[in-house]
Amino acid sequence: MNSEYARNTFSRQRLADALVLQKRELAQRLAESYVPRLLHAPAWEQDNLIRVILGPRRAGKSFFAIHWMKQFGEFAYLNLDDEALAGLSDFNAVLPVLNEIYPGTRNLLVDEIQNLSKWELVANRLQRQGYRLTLTGSNAHLLSRELATHLTGRHVPMVVFPFSFAEYLQTLGPMPTGAEAQSHAAVHAQSGGYPEPLLRKLDAHNYLITLLRAILYKDIVQRFQLRHPQGLDNMAMYLFANIASEYSLTRLTEIAQSRSVHTVEKYFRAMEEAFLLFSVPRFSWKVREQARSNKKVYAIDNGMAIAAGFRFTANLGRLYENLVAIELHRQELEGRHRLYFWKNLQQEEVDFVIHKGTRVEQLIQVCADTGAERTGQREVRALLKGSRELRCNRLLILTESEERRETAAWMDLRGEIEYQPLWKWLADAGRARS
Q: What is the pLDDT of residues 321-337, one digit of tens each?
A: 999 999 999 999 888 99
| Pairwise CA distance, residues 11 & 231, whole Å | 45
SS3 59: coil
Beta carbons within 10 angstroms of residue 430's beta carbon:
22
Please report the pLDDT score of residue 145 as a whole number: 59
What is the mean pLDDT of the segment spanning 70-84? 90
Instruction: Give the contacts of 311 (CB within 8 A, at least 6 positions apart).
Output: 241
Please state, for a pLDDT cut of 90, what percent of the chain lies above it: 62
Residue 208 CB burial class (10 angstroms; 0-12, 13-18, ≥19): buried
Tens of pLDDT along 268-299? 999 998 899 999 999 999 988 888 999 999 99
Please report the pLDDT score of residue 3 as a whole number: 44
User: Which has more confidence, 143 or 386?
Assistant: 386
Full strand arrangement of the beta sheet holding 413-421: 338-343, 349-356, 359-366, 395-399, 413-421, 404-410
Tens of pLDDT along 173-191? 777 888 899 999 999 999 9
User: Which has more confidence, 42 or 249?
Assistant: 249
| 31 has pLDDT over 60 | yes
Q: Which CATH number fits domain 3-160: 3.40.50.12500, 3.50.50.60, 3.40.50.1860, 3.40.50.300?
A: 3.40.50.300
| 347 has pLDDT over 90 | yes
SS3 366: strand
How many DSSP H helices and E strands does the chain contain?
Answer: 19, 14
User: Which has more confidence, 154 or 385?
Assistant: 385
SS3 293: coil
| 378 has pLDDT over 80 | yes
What is the mean pLDDT of the segment spanning 38-54? 77
Q: For the chain, how far is it from start to end, CA to CA, in angstroms?
A: 54
CA angle 226, 231, 237 (to 5 degrees): 120
Averaged confidence pLDDT in the chain: 89
Please state, for a pLDDT cut of 70, what percent of the chain lies above it: 91
Please report the pLDDT score of residue 100 as a whole number: 94
Please report the pLDDT score of residue 1 as a whole number: 40
Cα→Cα distances 383→316, 318, 358, Å: 21, 18, 20
| Confidence bin at 43 (pLDDT 50/70/90) | low
| Confidence bin at 10 (pLDDT 50/70/90) | low
> Which contiguous run of DSSP H or E holds residue 378?
helix 373-390
**Segments making up each domain of the chain, as ranges:** 3-160, 166-432
Please report the pLDDT score of residue 90 as a whole number: 81
| Pairwise CA distance, residues 93 & 38, whole Å | 37
Tens of pLDDT along 312-324? 776 899 999 999 9
Tens of pLDDT along 249-272? 999 999 999 989 999 999 999 999
Please report the pLDDT score of residue 165 as a whole number: 96
